[in-house]
Structure 1
Amino acid sequence: MSGSVETLEFQAETRQLLRLVIHSIYSNKDIFLRELISNSSDALDKLRLESLTDSDLGVDTSDLHIALEVDRDARTLTVRDNGIGMSRDDLVELIGTIAKSGTAGLLEKLRATEDAAAAQNLIGQFGVGFYSAFMVADRVTLLTRRAGTEAGTRWESDGEGTYDVQAVDGLPVGTSVTLHLKAADQSADDDNSADYLSEWKIRQIVKQYSDFIRWPIRMATERTDADGTTTSTVDTLNSMKALWARPRSEVTEAEYHEFYRQITHDWVDPAATVHMRAEGTFEYEALLFVPAQAPLDLFARDTRSGVQLYVKRVFIMDDCEALMPDYLRFVKGVVDAHDLSLNISREILQQDRQIRGVRRRLVKKVLGALKEMQAGDAERYATVWSQFGRVLKEGLVEDGEQTEALLELVSVVSTHDPEKPTTLREYVGRMKDGQDTVYYLTGENRAMVENSPHMEAFAAKGYEVLILTDPVDEVWVERVPGFDGHRLQSIAKGQVDLDGGTDGEGAADAEKAEREQDFAALLQWLTTALTEQVKQVRLSSRLTTSAACIVGDAHDMTPTLEKMYRAMGQELPPVKRILELNPTHPLITALQSAHRANADDPALKEIAELVYGSALLAEGGELADPARFTRLLTDRLTRTL
């Protein structure tokens, strides 16, 4: 027996919201089924919980499930569950009004500005997800009966401003939502609602968005045999196998690897697995993987980064950048939050304190897993670093909070053992007595760095130097002040006195002062003669075999970094550097004698240019006028023959 039909109006804010949902907010109409299945899953969760606390509820919870039913002739799709159900008042409160959602004030602004994009900031709840049904249906019928009650309710609306409510007897506990799909002429050419009557389409949507829902999602299907016999079966469409929700002790490595292949399509087993559960005020599970090999698009501008986001096992989005920093873009996996602030369409994550907290903890877990691998399996870690080291070092530029953890992971070649990379911790353990500086040299390639004139004194005195050749190295060494209390120092900057340490302002002893006085006239003349190329010419304590080298002041930008900025279109003022001379080299001593003999000899200017050009080439620099340098060199060689 049924009661009379009562027609009610949607609250004004709800009508506005309906219009935005149908026309503006959702970018993919497929998610209407995700929303309805999610609502059914919530209803099943609530019934199970309430049945545990209310023994008088009188419901059967032995087969809680969600059923999808298709009627192609009537063009209807029904989502049915045997969950908690709703009373008449529940229906009116949850679907007829959004007063409790806190969005009424914002909707008032939306009406004033007609800014549909601003709707992305709305916070969703049950009723909001339900409205997505009107994207594909011109009429929605809902039948429901709340557990513990005898009265059922029928709700129906075309989404245009009113809805009908009617008491109905004889309904089972739970809720069914029937969508009367729009006719073909009501849908866009590329968005035929008839697709949602197709088994393949429904399977596809369930697989993508609801595969890990804990409750079975069933659908009756028909199969025609070769002899023309048609049989009907009920299939379960979702796997319900959410590995991340199980204790780690109950999951095998084979299951982890199979899940990794499923979400990444990478058939090489991952190098590391991070399985964690956070409890407290904000609960979530995470199952993350560090791949063993880098994808081809790791450094592509449009590479997709981030992990998959679920909320209570319902898929929300791929590549959730808010949960993983860019320098960990190679990490794959799933984060499943129990309660998360989402926008109205669940497609854009709100940047709130909870998300920042989750991100911070995920980063620590991943870096911690890499540290454990570094300590326990050096060979495997070396492989991972070779694949992702360049990306991880980006974090030294981007994430000041994790600088110490990232520095512990750095693995680079050094002059200690060119065949085996070293960590900064190992470097510090080998430092000489009294050494308080970590020395390094950057360059475009390893051969150029190893053969640089700047290395000569360090090699002669047995000081270890880090060899940094990745482009990102030029940046992070400028941002990081030091490691474990030891400052980082480029051997191509400042003045060096390896007998007394390194001092950015220079260190002079009596012998050096005497030598500089002896060369003072030549140094002054060269500084003037090369004024367009250098800002100073001075004696060097870092050279043993080369005649000259070019260095920067302690805080100068390196030539490679300068070149990188210019390549990115940034205008930079020209940086003049310092020419250092080896006072014991025969060329320099001969130049000094020639200058003393005749400071006005025009040939001296040409020799000065050759000395500067040779030093520039030795460090991999580019000559401003290669033709002039070649001509001067050829003429000089000719005179010696």
Structure 2
Amino acid sequence: MTMDAVTAPETHAFEADVSKLLHMMVHSVYSDRDVFLRELVSNAADACEKLRYEAISSPALLGDEPQARINLKLDKETGTLVIEDNGIGMTAADMGETLGTIARSGTKAFMDKLAADKNGEGQQLIGQFGVGFYSAFMVAGKVEVVSRRAGEVDAAIWSSDGLGTYTIAPADPAAAPARGTRVTLHLLEDAKTYAERYTVERIIKAQSGHVPVPIFLQEVASEEEPAQVADGVALWTKGKNDISEEDYADFYRSLAGQFDKPALTLHYRAEGRHEYSVLTFIPETKPFDLFDPDRKGRIKLYVRRVFITDEADILPRYLRFVRGLVDSADLPLNMSREMIQDSPVLSAIQKGVSNRILSELDKLSVSEPERYAPIWENFGPVLKEGLYEDFERRDALLGLARFKSTTSDGEWRSLKDYVSTLQENQTAIYYATGHDLDRIAQSPQIEGFKARGIEVLLLPDQVDSFWTTMGVDYEGKPFKSVTQGAADLSLIPLAGGSSAAATPSEEANNFIIFAKEALADQVSDVRISDRLTSSAVCIVAADNAMDLQLEKMLASAGRAPERAKPVLEVNAGHALIAKLGQASGDEEGRRDLAFLLLDEARIAEGEAPADPRAFAERLERLMTKALG
């Protein structure tokens, strides 16, 4: 094989998601393109921190340059901007894997949302989510990456114009960094200001001034030494009085890769048996990976300012929307990531940080409910996963929970608010589940509760159908579904002061007897309802059966056995029921009407008739007789 064959650049195509992202970058005009510099500096800082970790077990990797640094070089003459770090570096294989594919599930979620964009909101989406290395193509017509992994002899160069392909080739070792990565941006004509000192220095100080690696800036045409524009002092090591709100916001954006502001910042140092610093943020907007099936957290773990991993399970999965870091003074640096995960010290940190975050949210919910409300709006469905998974903190989570209800006029209500308005003889907290608040609020099963002034919680999130089945109670009051079992409202007076409904008429009893026989294959029972006031019928789950909404959800996912027969409840005071209970010689017509009432109840529940063809035939026979 010839030397030319060995050293010839290899051309590769970007994976499909990257190609779409690059096309968007190249062809969109984004008003705040400064994001690219923050993203590239953040990547450089991560590379330096990874080297610090690797050097714990292999000090020789640091060579003659133990101090991490990021250098920016500006060349107005050639229109280039260089970002160089002396971090861990990459091999040619690393380049293909890192720069040719999208690995972060959050980035994939971003791409999916962008692909589904129907209202031209793409620019806004970009502004809410950092797009990593590929943002360089917003300002550059060509990007070159030269890198040498620490401890390696060979270097490699990656190059692309962002139009669909990239090349990887060996690089001249003499022209490559001793270790680390050099990214050269050949700036577009309308982006040449990014080769000017004032522009770059302003962006660094505004967006990357708190990365834990010093940043130096140099103009190629100048004979001056590189000037330090960021000191690399970790923000979390400073006192809170020395940090402004904007400092926190800048650090959050750099850390989280988002453009919003933190809705809540928590910064403290724990002392005592274990010492560690915590700096965490609750985002103002939903991260794109909020409902990632893996439900991974995004908390970085440091040990004495050395970055260890961003995959340590610091927080429970229902707090995965929290961004930030923990820096421990007690964990040993020479332990593997796997061993650290099993450490009792980390367990103590996990417990302390989780409890503190929930405590701070509780304080905010009481002292500043207007600030807490949007946090719950964004992350309530995720926090409620903890009601299902975290028995130890269930009481704390119930205190944080907020609900819309039949009496809240669209406002959020706490369980404390709910129990303060319990009706006479009310012994349970009633709820209704579904997919849409308005539809749940119109459920016929709620009518009897409204008539008695009983508040019903409206639960539209999928997780609601699960946590409510876990035997949860609040202040001794169990949660009870309005679509499961007997309502048992007879002891609670109607709103006008009158007591229970009147004794069912003979006609209503006649219909019950007839319907039980006619619908025996379809329902487990037919009975008088105290849930209904205006609707003729509704269906509910039997006392010991699964709640209707949960059963429907599991069945649609193929995770439930054959669905149980529901109970058909009848409004004994409804004129239609009385009419059907009267003696009649038209048995076929009565059976048709009984089946149509059952299908009506199913439709009100958001389901289709059990047998659509039979439903249509019965309806046609009924209309024919009516017109006859």
Give the TM-score, by structure 1 length: 0.64
Q: What residue number does 1:533 align with?
A: 522
Contact 1:396–1:403 (CA<8 Å) still a contact in 2? Answer: yes
Are residue 306 (structure 1) and residue 292 (structure 2) matched?
no
1:275-286 map, 5 Å: 275-286=267-278
Cα gap change, 1:373 to 1:184, in 2 (>3 Å): same
Instruction: Write the deviation string for residues 194-250 of structure 1: whole angstroms up to 9, x where unpaired.
Output: 5551675599xxx99x9537xxx799x997426xxx66x477697332222223233
Letter in 1 for 2:154: A
> For 1:487, what is the secondary structure of its paired residue?
strand
Task: Tell me the CA shift for residue 262 of structure 1.
Answer: 1.8
> Post-superposition shift, 1:617?
1.1
The verdict on how the C-alpha distance between 1:38 and 1:223 changes in structure 2, with shifts beyond 3 A counting, is farther
Q: Distance in 1 between matches of 2:218 and 2:374?
A: 50
Q: Which one of 582, 596, 609 corresponds to residue 593 of structure 1? A: 582
Distance 1:273 1:182, change over 3 A: closer
Write out per-residue CA displacement over residues 318-376 of structure 1, whole angstroms, 9 at most, x where no aligned residue: 2x351011111110011001122577554774223222221122111111222222112
* Equivalent residue for 2:561, pick from 552, 566, 572: 572
- Structure 1 equivalent of residue 540 of structure 2: 551
Post-superposition shift, 1:254?
A: 2.2
C-alpha deviation, 1:566, in angstroms: 2.8
Q: What is the aligned partner in structure 2 of residue 57 from structure 1? A: none
Larger Rg: 1
Give the letter aligned to residue 320 of structure 2.
Answer: R
Matched, 1:542 2:528: no
CA deviation map 1:502-547 (0-9, x unaligned): 9xxxxxx9997x6498855643442232122111111111111111
Residues 31/345 of structure 1: CA separation in 2 closer, same or farther (3 Å cut): farther
Q: Within the alignment, does 1:267 sit opposite 2:259 as a pair?
A: yes
Q: Shift in Å at residue 496 of structure 1? A: 2.4
Partners of 2:563 and 2:459 in 1: CA distance:
24
Q: 1:260 to 1:29 in 2, by over 3 A?
A: closer
Q: CA deviation at 1:563?
A: 2.7
Give the AA of the match of 2:236. Answer: W
Partner of 1:245: 237
Partners of 2:615 and 2:339 in 1: CA distance: 59
The answer (yes or no) to whether the contact 1:411–1:421 under 8 Å persists in 2 is yes
Q: Name the residue aligned to 2:64.
A: 78
Partner of residue 341, structure 2: 350
Asked if residue 225 in structure 1 is aligned to residue 221 in structure 2, the reply is yes
Structure 1 counterpart SS, 2:582: helix
Q: For residue 288 of structure 2, what is the aligned residue in structure 1?
A: 296
Q: Which residue of 2 aligns with 1:33?
A: 51
| Whole-Å separation in 2 of the counterparts to 1:637 and 1:197 | 87
* Residues 429-473 of structure 1, C-alpha deviations (whole Å, 9 max, x = no match): 111233221111112212222221111111222111111111111
Aligned to 1:212: 212
Assess, with a 3 A threshold, how the Cα gap between structure 1 residues 409 and 218 changes in structure 2: closer, same or farther.
Answer: closer
* Cα gap change, 1:510 to 1:185, in 2 (>3 Å): closer
Q: Give the counterpart of 2:307 among 315, 318, 330.
A: 315
Q: 1:386 to 1:222 in 2, by over 3 A?
A: closer
Deviation at 1:30, TM superposition (A): 7.5
Describe the SS at the equivalent of 2:569: strand
The equivalent position to 1:487 in structure 2, one of 470, 474, 478, is: 478
The answer for the alignment partner of 2:154 in structure 1 is 184
Conserved? CA contact 2:472–2:479, under 8 Å: yes
Paired with 2:336 and 2:344, the residues of 1 have a C-alpha distance of 20
Aligned with 1:411: secondary structure?
A: coil
- Counterpart secondary structure, 1:478: coil
Structure 1 position 564, deviation (Å):
2.0
Quote the Cα distance in structure 1 between the aligned partners of 2:215 and 2:507: 94
Where do 1:365-404 residues align within 5 Å?
Answer: 365-404=356-395
Q: Confirm or deny: 8 A CA contact 1:316 1:346 kept in the other structure.
A: yes
- Paired residue for 1:612? 598
Amino acid at match of 1:212: P
Select 2:469's aligned residue among 456, 478, 482. Answer: 478
The answer as to 2:616 corresponding to 1:630 is: yes
1:322 touches 1:349 (CA, 8 Å); kept in 2? no
- Structure 1 residues 242, 585: closer, same or farther in 2, change over 3 A? same
Distance in 2, Cα, partners of 1:450 & 1:609? 25
Query: The residue matched to 2:616 in structure 1 has which SS?
Result: helix
Judge conservation of contact 1:307–1:332 (CA < 8 Å) in 2.
yes
Is 1:534–1:576's contact at 8 Å kept on the other side of the alignment? Answer: yes
Cα distance, 1:580 vs. partner? Answer: 0.8
Q: Which residue of 2 aligns with 1:197?
A: 178
Q: Give the root-mean-square deviation of aligned CA atoms.
A: 4.0
User: Quick one: distance in 1 between partners of 2:459 and 2:431?
Assistant: 7
Q: Distance in 2 between matches of 1:67 and 1:218?
A: 21
Shift of 1:569: 3.0
**Which residue of structure 1 aligns with residue 80 of structure 2?**
none
Give the CA deviation at 1:622.
Answer: 2.0
The yes-or-no answer on 1:446 pairing with 2:446 is no
Alignment partner, residue 164 of structure 1: none
Q: How does 1:144-155 map to 2 (within 5 A)?
A: none
How far apart are 1:393 and its partner, in Å? Answer: 1.0
Structure 1 distance, partners of 2:447, 2:364, is 36
SS of match in other structure, 2:512 = helix
| Contact 2:524-2:566 within 8 A present in 1 as well | yes
User: 2:573: which partner in 1?
Assistant: 584
Structure-2 separation of matches of 1:634 and 1:356? 67
Q: Is the 8 A contact 2:270 2:276 kept in 1?
A: yes
Quote the Cα distance in structure 2 between the aligned partners of 1:529 and 1:478.
33
Establish whether residue 433 from structure 1 lines up as the match of residue 424 from structure 2. Answer: yes
Q: What CA deviation, in whole Å up to 9, does each residue of 1:44-102 have, x standing for no partner?
A: xxxxxxxxxxxxxxxxxxxxxx997xxxxxxxx41458xxxxxxxxxxxxxxxxxxxxx
CA contact (8 A) 1:440 1:491 kept: yes
User: Unaligned 5+ residue runs, structure 1?
Assistant: 1-27, 42-65, 69-76, 82-131, 137-178, 503-508
Does the residue aligned with 1:499 lie in a helix, a strand or coil? coil
Contact 2:156 2:170 in 1 (8 A): no
Instruction: Give the equivalent residue in structure 2 for 1:58.
Output: none
**Cα 1:330–1:348 shift into 2, 3 Å:** farther
Distance 1:212 1:222, change over 3 A: closer
Partners of 1:373 and 1:202 in 2: CA distance: 44
Cα gap change, 1:494 to 1:223, in 2 (>3 Å): closer
Change over 3 Å in CA distance of 1:295–1:575 after alignment to 2: same
Contact 1:494 1:551 in 2 (8 A): yes
The 1:494–1:35 alpha-carbon spacing in structure 2 relative to 1, beyond 3 Å, is closer
The alpha-carbon deviation at position 385 of structure 1 amounts to 1.3
Identical counterparts, % of pairs: 32
Deviations for 1:155-207, whole angstroms, at most 9, x for unmatched residues? Answer: xxxxxxxxxxxxxxxxxxxxxxxx995443999x889795551675599xxx9
C-alpha distance in structure 1 between counterparts of 2:299 and 2:150, whole Å? 36
Q: Residues 181 and 462 from structure 1, CA distance in 2 versus in 1: closer, same or farther, beyond 3 angstroms?
A: closer
What letter matches 2:237 in structure 1?
A: A
- What CA distance in whole angstroms lies between the structure 1 residues aligned with 2:613 and 2:513? 27
Give the distance between the partners of 2:49 and 2:281, measured in 1 at CA. Answer: 27
Instruction: Give, as a single letter, the amino acid of the residue that structure 2 aligns with 1:559.
Output: L
1:1-46 deviations in whole A, cap 9, x for unaligned? xxxxxxxxxxxxxxxxxxxxxxxxxxx99877314766899xxxxx
- Aligned 8 A contact 2:430 2:455 in 1: yes
Check the 8 A contact 2:447/2:532 in 1, yes or no.
yes
Would you say how many aligned residue pairs link Structure 1 and Structure 2? 466
CA distance in 1, matches of 2:518, 2:387: 41
Q: Is the deviation greater in 243-252 or in 620-629?
A: 243-252
